[in-house]
Chain A
Amino acid sequence: MTETTHYTKRTTDEKRTEEKERPAPKITVKAMNFFYGPVQTLFNISMDILPRHVTAFIGPSGCGKSTFLRILNRMNDIIENTRVEGDVRIDGIDIYGKNIDVVALRKRVGMIFQKSNPFPKSIYENIAYGPRIQGITSRQRLDEIVELCLKKAALWDEVKDVLNKSALALSGGQQQRLCIARALAVEPEIILMDEPASALDPISTAKIEELIFELKKMYTIVIVTHNMQQAARVSDYTAFFYLGNLIEYDTTAAIFTSPSKKQTEEYVTGRFG
């Protein structure tokens, strides 16, 4: 990446150079509108999400950031009477196309929720469940998958001797990392995180944030957070939403040092929201 020699607003040339050096997007959204019945809640959203980067969605409560997150793996389909207009593609394929296997989509695009939701099973079975459903029956192979995913989720050392223990006996932070490991077991390409640390203590939050830094080397991560400082710490790109509109989308460094829009500046400095 070309080094800029000043840290106020980037010039047009600097932005052009950055754009040239960017990899092809993993997810592209063009002119997307979303409706709950007759009520429109997302308006003309267009953005590109880059592979193996962390993109954060920020904005006040009710701005549509979680709704938009769920667009990316069609989780809104399970809500009655919703409608998506526009274009949402992953690797160039329209995920709202007629022949899309939604189950396969949700395997590629994993999701971590605010409240951790491990299965009422053992730690081992939580991780092995997905691969088993996919047809993996070899015990050795399942053992390998469980160990690998727990290591990737930075949980292996804490649970390796108690894999048969109930997942529900783990702490909140451990349960959330277990949910991440469970998502990794089905080899996703994209991980969506909806306020993954908001229910956790500061140490567990720090562990999740460190984990995000490791995971982004292999996965594309999109995270919704109401904690602006968290977005600043963990993400490469930040999108600011307000009342269903995408107000500004730029590198996290630009959003938190010299945002282009006054509204963004007012939000990140705490003047409203």
Chain B
Amino acid sequence: MERHIDKELEKVRESIVRMGTLVEEAVGKACGSFQKRDIAMAQEVIKGDGEINTAEMAIDKEIFEFLALKQPVATDLRFLFSVQKMNKDLERIGDHAVNIAQSAVNYISLGVQYTGGQHIVVMMGIARQMLAEALTSFIKNDSQLALKVLEQDDQVDDLNSGVTRDIIDMVKKDSATIESALEIIRISKNLERVADLSTNIAEDVIFNTKARDVKHHHVDDTSADRHVDRLS
């Protein structure tokens, strides 16, 4: 039977996808502002955070009213529960994008050319990819893609350590780079959080599609429900 609430659920879905697009753009621009040394781009990210915050509140309101008025159960309830959590995580990713942009502005203003290793750039690429794939897994209800996101989190953690080593080497060579080094460290920490929050989104997708809670399990843990063959 066709249900009128399906249209309302679709509106919620569209809202969170739009939110995801805004946040993905913010992260992309924040990283781009650092790589291209573009202060104007960084400032766009900082100004754009208000729109993300407004979107978060609007989605919270939609879900709150839906839960109060429509008494969703089963798949509908899992969907709304997942979206509510995604909403919060996306808003936090938006905040981290702002932090990255602010660090980019500070870094560019110092006028120092980056002479460290490429770990920070690789980390940017992977964090952005994880976010993109987490959002795609939601749009396509693809739990396998969501799993792939979860499996990349350790890589980002390793890259974070790599950035720290790069920075130490950079400062050892030239102690005058300490201020710019601190901004790189900040960017790295925020990218690590973007990756963590992207894995949260992936976990929510798995909960939504498979009704399995895979939080707090390590990928290598064979008892975890995380593995593909256990998600059927």
Contacts and interface: CB of A to CB of B under 8 A. Distances in A.
Interface of A: 3-7, 206-207, 210, 213, 229, 232-233, 252-253, 256-257
Interface residues of B, number: 15
Interface in B152-180: none
B142 interface: no
Interface in B34-84: 54, 57-58, 60-61, 64-65, 68-71
A229 B71 contact: yes
Contacts of B70: 232-233
B140 interface: no
B201 to A, nearest CB: 23
Given A213-B4, A229-B71, A232-B70, A6 B65 contact: no
A6 B61 CA distance: 7
A257 B64 contact: yes
Contact of B71 (A207, A233, A253): A233
B69 A253 contact: yes
Contacts of B58: 3, 5
A233 B71 CA distance: 8
Nearest to B53: A5
Contacts of A232: 68-71
Contacts of A4: 61
23 contacts: A3-B58, A5-B54, A5-B57, A5-B58, A5-B61, A6-B57, A6-B61, A7-B60, A7-B65, A207-B1, A210-B1, A210-B3, A210-B4, A213-B4, A229-B71, A232-B68, A232-B70, A232-B71, A233-B69, A233-B70, A256-B69, A257-B65, A257-B68
Interface of B: 1-4, 54, 57-58, 60-61, 64-65, 68-71
Among B58, B61, B64, which residue has the most Cβ atoms of chain A within 10 A? B61
> In this complex, which of A4, A6, A7, A256 has the most chain B Cβ atoms within 10 angstroms of its Cβ?
A7
Contacts of A256: 68-69
Given A5-B57, A233-B70, A233-B71, A206 B65 contact: no
B206 to A, nearest CB: 28
B111 to A, nearest CB: 41
Contacts of B4: 210, 213
B68 A253 contact: yes
A6 B54 CA distance: 10
A186 B4 CA distance: 27
B66 to A, nearest CB: 10
A7 B2 CA distance: 29
Nearest to B7: A213
A97 to B, nearest CB: 38
Residue among B3, B57, B68 facing the most chain A CB atoms (10 A cut-off): B68
Contacts of A233: 69-71
B14 to A, nearest CB: 15
Contacts of B68: 232, 253, 256-257
Contacts of A3: 58
Given A4-B61, A210-B4, A256-B68, 4 more contacts: A3-B58, A6-B61, A229-B71, A232-B68
A4 B60 CA distance: 11
Contacts of B71: 229, 232-233
A227 to B, nearest CB: 11
Contacts of A252: 69
